[in-house]
């Protein structure tokens, strides 16, 4: 997955987790609330992974650009 794909998946998981927590709270389901919290945390991690991939890619591109300019 690319960094942007990871970020998009993370945003979707984060949103779904928040919805699941809200539904769990509305119906009184502790299990659904905890599942939602877990899914939201997974989304946060995916977003961070995407940011890290993008940062690494940007760094590699800068090094490659600098090397090409010296040639």
Mean pLDDT of 30-54: 97
Q: For residues 33 and 2, what is the distance between their CA atoms, to the nearest angstrom? A: 30
The predicted-structure confidence for 7-22, as pLDDT tens digits, reads as follows 999 999 999 999 999 9
| Predicted pLDDT at 43 | 97
| Predicted pLDDT at 37 | 97
Cβ count near 58 (within 10 Å): 11
pLDDT band at residue 70 under the 50/70/90 scheme? confident
Mean pLDDT of 20-26: 97
């Amino acid at each position: 997955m690319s960094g942007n794909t990871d970020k998009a998946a993370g945003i979707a998981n984060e949103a779904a987790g928040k919805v699941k927590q809200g539904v769990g709270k509305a119906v009184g389901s502790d299990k659904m609330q905890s599942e939602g919290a877990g899914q939201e945390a997974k989304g946060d991690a995916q977003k961070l992974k995407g940011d890290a991939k993008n940062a690494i890619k940007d760094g590699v591109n800068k090094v490659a650009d600098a090397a090409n300019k010296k040639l």
